[in-house]
Structure formats: structure tokens, C-alpha cells
Amino acid sequence: MSERRPGFPARLPGAAAPLPGLTRPAVQLVRPAPAPSGLGLDSSAVRARMVRRLGEGGVSSAPVLAAMGAVERHRFVDTALVNQAYEDTSLPIGLGQTISKPSIVARMAELLLGAPCVKTEGLGRVLEIGTGCGYQAAVLGRVAREVYTIERLRALHEKARENLRPLRLSNVHLILGDGMLGYPKGAPYAAIISAAGGEMLPQTWCDQLAVGGRLVAPMAGPDGRQSLLVVDKTAHGLKQTILEAVNFVPLKSGVA
């Protein structure tokens, strides 16, 4: 097998061509305040509306849409922000990190399912860089056979563990470590996905990607603006495709 190990420019080019109250005579009926969106019995309907919006926005993968509808995003955000859980927006989760907006989670998951090896084998083992609060890992756990997810910040690693425990996803494995090093024990991976963007793609990720596998990550160009980068690994080397502009937290090394 001939593989172009360098395969990547040190820097990538810039982004390519984003009920009112009811009253009756003599009697006033007061409706209770509506429950926050995403809480209690209404969460299923709220998720269904979110899924419809994702479909209208271009997400067409049935497995991805089903996963987005099954995972309760409100359980992964702070109580003060729960009313915004099913809006298409990123939200802070502490320590300068965010939970990605639903549309980007769905978009990246759908891109992973487009990997060449998936067409014949299904989405096998996935490596996620940046667990965050665990939401994306939960979605990936419903479309992949196995997920290894790495978080460098101990506090977020523990938060993700607490968030994911009730879901009992036995195929999702949480790791505290430096995501820039990947996780060689689980390699090779059918897919690698990053929730943080840098100016250079770590060679370790390319090494740990299986032939026929796909890597999806935000990558910054010389102007600092990020775009989604898709890398397909073939027997002859690495093929890159730059997609739409995105905005992710910066990729960092080390454990804190």
C-alpha cells in the first residue's frame, strides 16, 4: 500500500463556498405557565420539530435524523439554558467550551456515514476528539457500532460521564486524554470526528484512520477562518475536500 503520509498542507486555504389566556364572563381561567421546552412530556414533540427543521435544512440521512430525535439534548445543557436546548444554536457548557448546534452535529455525522467503507460495512469504530458534555458522543453511539471519545479537560470528562450514564450506551467509551494524540489502542478507525479546530491536522489522526475511512474536522486557513475539512483515506493516499465555513473552539494539546 502506498500512502502519502504528509498529505496535508501546513495551513489550509480560507473557507470555500451556512396561547393567549382564555376568559369567560364572570369566570377567568388561568393557564399554568408552559413548561420549558425540552422538559418532561413535551420533549418528544420538541425533538420532532427539531428533526423536521434539520430535514428542511438538508440533512437526509435517516439514521442520523433518528439519532437526533432519540437523544434528549436538554439533558446535556445547563438548567439555565434548557429553554434553548432545541434551538439551532451552540451553547456554553463551561470552561470556555460549547455544545455544537444540532445542525452541525447532524451534518458532521451524515458526512461520516458517507465514508467509502461505510457503504459496504456500516459505520464501525469511531474516534471523537473533544467529548465536551457528551451530546455528540450520544448521537454517534446510535449510528456507529463503537465510539471512543476523548476529552482533555477533566471537569468536562466527568460531566459527560454523568450525562451519558443514564443512557446506558455500552458502545461509547469515554477517555481522559490528549485528543491530538488520538487513541492508538482503538485504531484503526472507520471514522474520526473533531469538535475543535486547529491550523494543522495531527498526523496521528491520519495514521489511526483506516483505509476507506473518513475524517471530518474544522480546520483554520491562513486568515484564521475555519471550514469543514473532509479527508478520505485510500490505498493511494489522502484525499481532501474543503466544505462550508464553521466556527469551533480551538484545538489544544495536553490534559487539564
43 tagged catalytic: no
Full DSSP string of 36-85: PTTSGGGHHHHHHHHHHHHHHTT---HHHHHHHHHS-GGGGS-GGGGGGT
The catalytically annotated residue of 37, 43, 90, 100 is 100
Let me know: does 98 contact 135? Beta carbons within 8 Å.
no
User: Which SS3 state, helix, strand or coil, does residue 4 take?
Assistant: coil
- CA quadruple 240, 216, 147, 202: dihedral sign: positive
Let me know: does 233 contact 206? Beta carbons within 8 Å.
yes
Pairing of strands 237-246, 209-220: unpaired
Annotated catalytic residues are 100
